[in-house]
Amino acid sequence: MELKNKPPRERIVYVASQLFHQQGYNATGINEIIEKAKVAKASFYQHFKSKENLALEYLEVRHKTWFEGLKHFTEEKTAPKEKVLSAFDYLEQMNEKENFRGCCFLNMLSEIQPDNVRILSVIQKHKTELQNFFIDIIGEENDAFIIYMFFEACMIDSQVYRTQNLIEKTKNNIKNLMK
């Protein structure tokens, strides 16, 4: 992605997204962001009232692009079973692409304070949409929640062990479970 020609605001969001996801939210300082985004400090605060506001934008953008990617991956399939399996393929691809850093919403959840409702609600919205995604595919709510749980656990497990092992196992299980 060519940053040079993008407007400052986009550069900030892009750089921050990389850094927040790879090193964590608290471990990433404003200074590092503006330096790598080649933006003056005051310009940063012109666009974002605070670091937390940047975090919100980061999550919103991620929410959008992540689901776009997911839908792009699954839309070519028609059968529910195939759609579900390609959701797990998407997971594997993202793990490779992003170095097994897991779910950036859950990572953020680990770092925020319990009273931070603004960020928490974005995280909740994201997970609720994921649940609805599976409900839409599968139809039956309880089964959809089981797949959702597999999905969440696979995401976590691949972050813990930095492998796709459990995802592969789970795809096999799904092949047997869903007729």
Name every residue whose Cβ is closer than 8 Å to that of residue 85 and which is 6 or more positions away in sequence. Answer: 77, 171, 174, 175
Any idea what the Cα angle at residue 131 is, between residues 126 and 132, rounded to 5°?
Answer: 95
How far is the C-alpha of 53 from the C-alpha of 34, rounded, in Å? 15
Closer Cβ to a second copy, 5 or 110, answer by number: 110
Structure-block tokens of residue 110: 């680990």
Return the residues of window 15-34 that contact a second copy according to CB under 8 A: 22-24, 26-27
> Measuring CA to CA, which residue among 68, 3, 77 is closest to residue 34?
3
Residue 44 interacts with a second copy (CB under 8 A): yes or no:
no
Residue 87 interacts with a second copy (CB under 8 A): yes or no:
no
State which of residues 13, 15, 16, 39 lies at the interface with DNA (CB under 7 A): 39
Closer Cβ to DNA, 9 or 81, answer by number: 9
Closer Cβ to a second copy, 26 or 65, answer by number: 26
Residue 81 interacts with DNA (CB under 7 A): yes or no:
no
Q: Which stretch binds DNA (CB under 7 A): 44-52, 70-78, 85-93, 154-162?
A: 44-52
How far is the C-alpha of 118 from the C-alpha of 177, rounded, in Å? 38
One-letter identity of residue 64: K
Residue 45, contacted partner among a second copy, DNA, none, CB below 5-8 A by kind: DNA
Residue 3, contacted partner among a second copy, DNA, none, CB below 5-8 A by kind: none
Residue 40 interacts with DNA (CB under 7 A): yes or no:
yes
Query: Any idea what DSSP says for residue 29?
Result: -
Q: What is the DSSP string of 86-129?
A: HHHHHHHHHHHHTTT---HHHHHHHHS-TT-HHHHHHHHHHHHH
Using CB under 8 A, list all residues that contact a second copy.
22-24, 26-27, 99-102, 106-114, 123-124, 127, 142, 145-146, 148-154, 156-157, 159-161, 166, 169-170, 173
